[in-house]
Amino acid sequence: MNRKYRIPVIAILSFSLFSCKKSSTSETVTPTPVLQATIGGSTWTPDTVSATITYNATAKTKTFHFTGTQAQKQIDISIQDVSPVNNQNFTGGSYLPDANGINTFNYSTQIKNSSGAYVFAPYGVIKPGDGNVTVTALDSAGKTISGTFYFNASKNNYDSNGNIISADLVGVSGGSFKIPYQFIRQ
């Protein structure tokens, strides 16, 4: 290397090395919850979420099922596609809880059973039509399904003679999901 270029090149490299400094600020990225709702007036975001879309070739049905669990509370919803086709898509639109058990909505709390094990038990019943799941988008390439939901769970309280003396109601409102799902063919 020619001597007259050595000094400027060394000076430029030295300046570049010493002028670079590490940023002292760090960014915290908070991921958007994949499932959340307001339960009894409090925001609830589960720490465990699972979702499947299952096509049953024998019955010619397709079911979207998702569960979220956190802090002794669980939401479990299962809805059946109105136009089932043997593919990974799911028909968008509104789905209501029904009396036939085709579309089921459950809010459960953790209790100790007679064997001493902790299990989730439905808080109450969801009356037909007293709720809604709206599927708004499905990305079959990215395997995510999005939408909203709400429902009410009611539990009757009885006296010693079996008469209803009161009813407790828990509203699950403002629910939203953008859930990765697994597609299953049966």
Which residues span the domain enclosing 138?
Answer: 31-185
| Residues 97 and 131: beta-carbon distance below 8 Å | yes
Whether residue 127 is contained in a domain is answered as yes
Count the residues in the chain: 186
Contact 120, 113 (CB under 8 A): no
Q: Is residue 101 part of a domain?
A: yes
pLDDT tens per residue, the chain (186 residues)?
555 555 554 444 444 444 444 445 556 555 565 899 999 899 999 999 999 999 999 999 999 999 999 989 999 999 999 999 999 899 999 999 999 999 999 999 999 999 999 999 999 889 999 999 999 999 989 999 999 999 999 888 889 999 989 888 889 999 999 999 999 999
In a domain, 130, yes or no: yes
Q: Does residue 172 lie within any of the structural domains?
A: yes
pTM of the model: 0.78
Domain count, the chain: 1
